[in-house]
Amino acid sequence: MRGEWEMMIQTKTTLIILLIVSLVVTMGFVVSGCGGSKHRQIDVSEGDYYSEDEIEALPASKRSRYCQDLQAVLGSTRQEFDAKTQQLEETRTLTRSLRDQIVPIEREVLQLESDIRTLNDQIEEVKALPTEYVIKEGESLTAIAMRPEIYNDIDKWERIFQANQDKIDDPYFIFPDTVLVIPRDWPTD
């Protein structure tokens, strides 16, 4: 989304700058135009101008009228230039404002991405935990539940007993080499 906004703002800014440049060039033609002509018909409002030689060849009345036309175009061009300059500054202000809004959101996204990676790593660790355990000589269900790779919690021995009632009649009497199922449906408590 940020890329789309930046592209849109950059495109808008580029268009405004191109328009300003074309207006400045037009103003240059207008200002330099009052200096000669053969008698061709021109339309200043359409961007058509006399050359210096053509202006010098104009009768005084036509030259005066041409200069008035140029002054009118110059005035409207300056107004358009000022408006586009203001629009450019407003766009720059908007761009700064959007950047100020984007930066904290980017930080949040980066933090969330980091959290997701951490959670995915933890999920992979949990998936790698054993789902079966072979009882060794002298072990109890509480000792098995306390093993870090099992539950790391003595109170979870009952979960092991519940899941293995088909193999264990009495939780206090378990036998070596019995393969126990270790439930991995993690409780929320």
Whether 51 and 32 have beta carbons less than 8 Å apart is answered as no
Calculate mean pLDDT across residues 158-179: 95
Strand, coil or helix: what is 180? strand
54-69: pLDDT as tens digits: 888 888 888 888 889 8
Q: What was the pLDDT predicted at 180?
A: 96
pTM of the entire structure?
0.44
**Three-state secondary structure call for residue 173:** strand
CA distances from 12 to 6, 15, 153 (A): 10, 5, 62
Look-up: residue for tokens 């439930």?
Answer: 183
Q: Which CATH number is correct for 132-181, 3.30.70, 3.10.350, 3.30.1330, 1.10.12?
A: 3.10.350
The token pair at 63 is: 């030259």
Asked whether residue 155 carries a pLDDT value surpassing 50, the answer given is: yes
pLDDT at 148: 94
For 15-56, the pLDDT digits (tens) are 777 667 666 666 665 555 554 334 577 887 788 888 888 888
Beta-carbon-side half-sphere exposure of residue 16 (alpha carbons within 13 Å): 18
CA atoms within 13 A on the CB side of 144: 28
Mind listing the pLDDT tens digit for each residue in 86-143? 999 999 999 999 999 999 999 999 999 999 999 999 888 888 899 999 999 999 999 9
Q: Is 13 within 8 Å of 88 (Cβ atoms)?
A: yes
In 28-161, DSSP assigns E strands to: 132-134
Residues paired with 180 in a beta bridge:
133
